[in-house]
Structure 1
């Protein structure tokens, strides 16, 4: 029985790895590379996207932001919602109050699930507002993805995500990259290509999961 307890204890002590970085810096790319190495990734954006389709969240969004942020099928139009949200801090706080508690609750459920999975080497949190929500305190290791503003803007533009003005609006409501970089345990450079990023991950991976 004692041996079973020890096995369960150490299995549940799998590290939680948080990813920090600017918008379009390659945080999800890093998360995918860690997933390829046996880590379980919790994607907060994917969770939020699912929540936007639930009746409860849609009602709260309609009450807060009006019917103008919905499409003709009655689904949340994320582009219209973003345009309205990033007009002021009050709007950002309002959408965060609706979505974040549910995202973080689901995240905790997944952490517990993955920590009990013997095949999982570590749990990776791909949460865009990791520091802003205070979830860096939940992490054992923090990685900062360093990427120049010009490279981030180019990638975002190619994917049709947003332009420079929209990038600036979003960044105005986030903690500075300097602060995020200072608290990171590891820094990877993502200004070049995927193979270079993969090489850096390989170098720090043993320490990440220890």
Structure 2
């Protein structure tokens, strides 16, 4: 469990700019705990996670160099709910545990936990406050098509599988509008950084319940 740390859960839909926002907080010396980075680490070559996955699916999900073949694994769980649930039940606790360990060993004034599916996977229960990076669906579609070289239909399919924009906004404690330029973004991050510093300081001097 997280021990009296002020943790900001940063989330947003695809191509909303979560990484950009997180990196702006990092410029203030704030530690980032990134669920996507950890998700890659728990299945890297030689990891317990990859060993269990290989035992379950066989060596065909490995590349010649022993690394995980992500495309092969995706094909195993795509449209197979049983296998997808098995994989999630293996990896999600590993990812969660590593996130908690990184938060508890962090030394910055507060911590930014970057989790794309923060609300969908109920990981908002691990954080002190939530911050949503918000852009319009139209911008999400155009940015994702440009960034990933995918079709509009593919992006719309991804959007349909995620929480809606309004649901995310309704759950958010704080919202960053990422539809303007980088200067607007920096000013919003600067304001929130000061707020989080103040709230983290207040949390640290509260007596234990």
TM range (shorter): 0.7 to 0.9
Task: Work out whether 1:129 is the aligned partner of 2:117.
Answer: yes
Match of 2:32 in 1: 41
Segment drifting more, 136-145 vs 63-72? 63-72
Match of 1:208 in 2: 196
Task: Work out whether 1:154 is the aligned partner of 2:154.
Answer: no
Distance 2:165 2:52 in 1: 31
| Residue pairs, 1:9-158, within 5 angstroms | 13-53=4-44, 54-65=46-57, 67-87=59-79, 89-114=81-106, 117=107, 120-158=108-146
| Residue pairs, 1:1-12, within 5 angstroms | none
Give the direction of change, closer, same or farther, for the CA distance of 1:163–1:85 in structure 2 (3 Å limit): farther
Please state whether the residue corresponding to 1:132 is helix, strand or coil.
Answer: coil
Superposition TM-score, scaled by structure 2 size? 0.80
Count of aligned positions: 195
Q: Unaligned 5+ residue runs, structure 2?
A: 200-209
Give the direction of change, closer, same or farther, for the CA distance of 1:72–1:33 in structure 2 (3 Å limit): same
Q: 1:184 aligns with which of 167, 172, 175?
A: 172
Distance 2:5 2:133 in 1: 22
Q: Unaligned 5+ residue runs, structure 1?
A: 1-11
**8 Å CA contact retained: 1:47, 1:103:** yes
* Superposition CA RMSD, Å: 2.4
